[in-house]
Structure 1
Amino acid sequence: MQTSEIVISDDVAGEWRVPVLTFEGSDPKAPRVYIQAALHAGELPGVAALHAFIPALRTAESEGRLLGDVVIVPKCNPIGAGQWLHGELQGRFEIASRTNFNRDYPLIALKDRASLLDGIEARPAADQLKRHLLHLALGADLVLDLHCDDESQLYAYLEASFWPEAIDLAESFGLEAVLLSDGGSTAFEEAVTHAWKAGDLGARAAWHEGRISLTMEFRGLRDVRPDLAAKDAEGLMAFLQRRNVVSGEPVRHEAFTGPVAGLDYVQMIDAPKAGTVLFEKTFGDQVRAGDRLAAIIPTPGFPENDVAILAPVEGTIVTRVAARFVRRGDNLMKIASTALSNKPRKPGGALED
């Protein structure tokens, strides 16, 4: 294992330094891997998983079982990690620009990868970070961006073209749901697929052959535990074994029986009114149209004013918001269904800001 750093010049003074770990495989024809965690700086289950995974990868490297090169950025966003307001970490959006750290990545062709670093020192710090991370990722064939939701199942976002070949991912991690995107946003994983789509096929039959770029959602914000970290580290190892990055039989195999839904079939259940939320269903629950999901209390002590939240369709609850007081329009849940959603996605094609 070799260590290096991404150096980012701060917009005010000083520098940000981002550790990068590089593992060298023995087979130049094996897939190359890039993994990062905590792009949204407060989402830490992926950091815990990598903390458990990296020693196992070091062992594989020392024993000659590592075939493909692996690059890991275990905690990739020091800018977000340094943003605190009244004791609360503000790691999803850059405060200066109000931009989501997982949006607005450059959409370039793979052949233009080197241009990402042209004149980079003159760019704003957050843009420097995004360009450095994307530059690293575009050197790989398998790209995993590790996130988590508020409260949720273990699930993944990936480009629809990768399914159903990505069933090996679901079986390695024991995924509970898969959401399929159409490659229409500027999020990190979709900037990677955009570059591949715009690249030369070379010896590949299709742009996605032998590749995958995805966002892993390692459950909820509070699911940072040693047992879950160890389980997710096993999932990472099993996936790399299935993709012939590490030799040996996969250490995990779990049958995938969860829902698979395109983003246009994800029902965003939003709050019609501000108030305290009393949830009656949780993530993983199967619901039918008309089932009560929650109640919103706008005026405590007057239950006749409560607002019932009903499921619009049949499906599986994948996520639930962690907040128990919401504003009008805030998202409460996501339901994976077989019915088209009647709510437009956010500008840029994402489900959320």
Structure 2
Amino acid sequence: MKKSMLPDYKLIEIQILASGDILQIPVYTFQGKKEGKKVYIQANLHGAEIVGNAVIYELIEFFSTLNNEDINGEIILVPMCNPIGVNQRNLFFSTGRYSPYDGLNWNRIFWDYSHENINIDDFVRENMNFSKQDIQANFFDNILNKFQEKQNNINHRRGVSFSEHYRNILQSLSLSANYIIDIHSSSVSSIDYLYCFDYRQKSADYFLLDYAILMNKYDGNAFDEAFLNPWLILEKKLSQAGRNLIFDVESWTLELGSGMRVNEESVKKGFKGIINYLSAKKILNLEVVLPEKSTKFIPKNTIKSYYAIQGGIIRHRLKEGTKVKEGDMLYQILSFSKGSKMPFIIDIESADEGIIFDVSTNDTVNQGEYILGIFPHV
């Protein structure tokens, strides 16, 4: 008789409040019978982006029906990874995108090994003739040792900012992983897509999503960027030295659904895609589903954003997923301009051909506020 397995469960304390209450994050770990690779999955880094919690619930339920022979290595799942952001409110509206302590975007605070005073060229020279597996293991050791060194050097009488303390907790769980998956939702209303880094495009297909934004310029110390950036630099430097290696290390951000909502169709897509990805990476001993069509990659710098040319009320805006041609009407602005006795309508036509991938959720706008974005046809 097949026995199901339960995850190892623990709570990690992240903040003691002035009231004496303690904020904690839950961590669920499934350990396979065989040692192997490690995957880290988190959700809800931004407070209003809640759909990933439902995805992780479905993953936990599914993994609990397996036994440890079905899993190779280790799977770590962290739902509700940012309780401060989750609990931020203005009236009925979730916010939680920026830290109330320093104003930083919760997803721009993470530590990047390559930003330290290190010389990756020296590492390449010292490891050039080693096997791919040994180079990967040695570089992992360097990253983890530097991270631990920074933790050891914290002066506990002075303390650190909450942003640094918080990032250290999440990265202590994730930096040793082979694969990280950070589940987000659009801040507005959006189709489902993912962010992909260069030289990792082949793996994107396993998530079974139609679109991926190909990162060609980094915004800053985002969770996925900070994890993978040192490895991309190492690969580039090895290539320049004559060895073309792509390491078995990947990071992904899934954008599923819209803020403040749990779109069940997005949950299904996220769950199915993650299971398939983990199967393709041999974390799960399950059959891999081959996508009916390959993921379409959208270079980030080709996305066209539309902003309100003046304030007013949005009417007849096209929905996300709509294909448009240049000249098609995208939306109207109803204006009660103080300079006109009568209200009037402004038609806004598309300047581009493509697909509307996200739209703002507020139909009242000021001039210069975001309205929608368009992917080009690929």
TM-score, structure 2 as length reference:
0.79
Corresponding residue of 1:32: 38
Contact 2:235 2:244 (C-alpha < 8 Å) held by counterparts: no
Q: Find the partner of 2:232 among 197, 203, 212.
A: 197
Counterparts of 1:3 and 1:271, CA distance in 2: 48
Counterparts of 2:244 and 2:174, CA distance in 1: 19
Deviation at 1:101, TM superposition (A): 0.8
Deviation at 1:327, TM superposition (A): 2.1
Corresponding residue of 2:256: 218
Q: Find the partner of 1:51 among 49, 57, 72.
A: 57
Provide the secondary structure at the position in 2 that maps to 1:59: coil
Counterparts of 2:329 and 2:180, CA distance in 1: 39
Counterparts of 2:311 and 2:280, CA distance in 1: 47
Deviation at 1:48, TM superposition (A): 0.7
Letter paired with 1:79: I
Contact 2:334 2:343 (C-alpha < 8 Å) held by counterparts: no
Change (3 A) 1:200 1:11: farther
Corresponding residue of 2:346: 307
Corresponding residue of 2:371: 332
Change (3 A) 1:207 1:223: farther
| 1:180 matched to 2:214 | yes
Provide the secondary structure at the position in 1 that maps to 2:194: strand
> What do the CA deviations read for 1:313-344 (whole angstroms, capped 9, x no partner)?
211111111111122222111211169xxxxx
Letter paired with 1:35: I
Corresponding residue of 1:125: 162
Deviation at 1:257, TM superposition (A): 5.3
Change (3 A) 1:6 1:182: farther
Letter paired with 1:137: S
Gaps of 5+ in 1: 340-353
Letter paired with 1:293: L
| 1:152 matched to 2:187 | no
TM-score, structure 1 as length reference:
0.84
| 1:273 matched to 2:310 | yes
> What do the CA deviations read for 1:120-163 (whole angstroms, capped 9, x no partner)?
86222233222221232211111100011121111001212311
Provide the secondary structure at the position in 2 that maps to 1:48: helix
Counterparts of 2:47 and 2:373, CA distance in 1: 22
Change (3 A) 1:294 1:161: same
Deviation at 1:17, TM superposition (A): 1.1
Contact 1:297 1:303 (C-alpha < 8 Å) held by counterparts: no
Corresponding residue of 1:342: none
Corresponding residue of 1:351: none
Q: Percent identity?
A: 22
Letter paired with 1:297: L
Q: Which has more radius of gyration?
A: 2
Provide the secondary structure at the position in 1 that maps to 2:72: coil
Change (3 A) 1:147 1:156: same
Corresponding residue of 1:168: 206
Change (3 A) 1:67 1:135: same
> What do the CA deviations read for 1:283-339 (whole angstroms, capped 9, x no partner)?
111111222111122218988743332222211111111111122222111211169
Gaps of 5+ in 2: 1-6, 115-142
Q: Find the partner of 1:316 among 355, 366, 369.
A: 355
Letter paired with 1:316: I
- With 319-328 and 68-77 compared, the bigger mean Cα shift is at 319-328
Change (3 A) 1:70 1:317: same
Counterparts of 2:89 and 2:261, CA distance in 1: 21
Corresponding residue of 2:247: 209
| 1:135 matched to 2:189 | no
Counterparts of 1:146 and 1:312, CA distance in 2: 32
Corresponding residue of 2:107: 102
Letter paired with 2:10: S
